Amino acid sequence: MAEAPEKNLALDIVRITEAAALASARWLGRGDKEAGDGAAVDAMRVSFATLNIDGLVIIGEGEKDHAPMLFNGEKVGKGTGPCLDVAVDPVEGTNLLAYGRPNAISVVGVAPHGSMFNPGPSYYMQKLVVPREARDVVDLDAPVKENLNRVAKALDKSVQDLVVFVLDKPRHKKLINDIRAAGARIQLQTDGDVAGALMAVDPRSEVDIMMGTGGTPEGVLSACAIKGMGGQLLARLDPQSYVEKEAITEAGIDVREVLTVHDLIRSDDCFFAATGISGGDFLRGVRYSPRHAVTHSLVLRGKTGTLRYVESYHNLDRLTKFSAVRY
């Protein structure tokens, strides 16, 4: 049965990521990641207070960030409207922002209450992200070369034409060697695995696949977008310390289970927004002119799969007269 168009919450939450990006972009390259992240958190929290939602933060700043606001379990929104699970990363790539490197972004994802995977004490997970065309051919336990061959065939490319996004970390030494041995190209980034996951499913991006171990909260955030784009995210919790592994076991979570994008976000009725902070090949960063600040965002509604790229011109003279956000 045909349905009338419903409210697209992604068009509301993009205002939140825009505010966080505008507030934090002033700290680009200034070497103070806490100040940049704090500015984004403040802007995001103020902006959430304007939304008619009853939101519960499932993925927040977390224990690693010692966050006083937007922490896991915090309620956001006016307390009216739909009950939602909320995932936030005010600055995904705080080091990228602090040192003026590309692809720092501000990110928010929401889904119906109870449908978002709660990672509990897990900080890290192994991930494999591919676009729609390759979503049914990959296997998290298959050798790297085999997965690359399968993805190349699905994308009608040679393996030598593939670009693989990998975080440049010591833990990925073998992975990087295996990718090189298979003949694929690699895009190494120091941080930003949400951006990397999104690039793997974004039709505009040169990245074809993302591999490696990154943040568990970032994996859940990415899943909000990957689900709507029709791609696949395969993941398994990958604790990087004995303390983390023991905490996961005590929480009753099986570290052996392979999770799919549908396990991480169990509803199609999800929404996602990301706004660029520092310039990059994924989303352009905040740009200032004499009268405006210009932002570039990706906005996605999971149910329809509608993907929007939004360029916004913010009149700072007017905004600063009434907004509680410090731009």
Residues of each annotated binding site for Mn(2+): 37, 61, 89, 92, 218
110 Cα distance to chain centroid: 12
C-alpha dihedral (87, 194, 253, 237), degrees to nearest 10 = -170
Residues forming beta bridges with residue 165, ordered by sequence position: 187, 210
Q: Which of 93, 98, 57, 95 is nearest to 76 (CA)?
A: 57
Question: Across the beta sheet with 163-167, what order do the strands follow?
Answer: 185-189, 163-167, 209-215, 124-130, 232-237
Cα distance between residue 286 and residue 295, in whole Å: 5
Q: Which of 15, 67, 75, 71 is nearest to 37 (CA)?
A: 67
Q: Which of 171, 250, 248, 241 is nearest to 211 (CA)?
A: 171
C-alpha dihedral (244, 189, 164, 18), degrees to nearest 10 = 90
As given in the structure block, the two tokens for residue 147 are 């997965």
Q: How many CB atoms sit inside 10 A of residue 80's CB?
A: 9
Residues 6+ apart with CB under 8 A from 111: 84, 85, 224, 265, 266, 267, 269, 270, 271, 302
Query: Which residues contribute to the annotated binding site?
Result: 37, 61, 89, 92-94, 124, 169-171, 191-193, 215, 218
- Rounded to a whole number of angstroms, the distance between the first and last alpha carbons of the chain is 45
Query: Which residues contribute to the annotated binding site for substrate?
Result: 92-94, 124, 169-171, 191-193, 215
Write b or e for each residue in 89-124: b if 16 or more Cβ atoms lie within 10 A of its Cβ, otherwise e: bbbbbbebbbbebbbbbbbbbbbbbebbbebebbbb
| 3-class DSSP state of 263 | helix
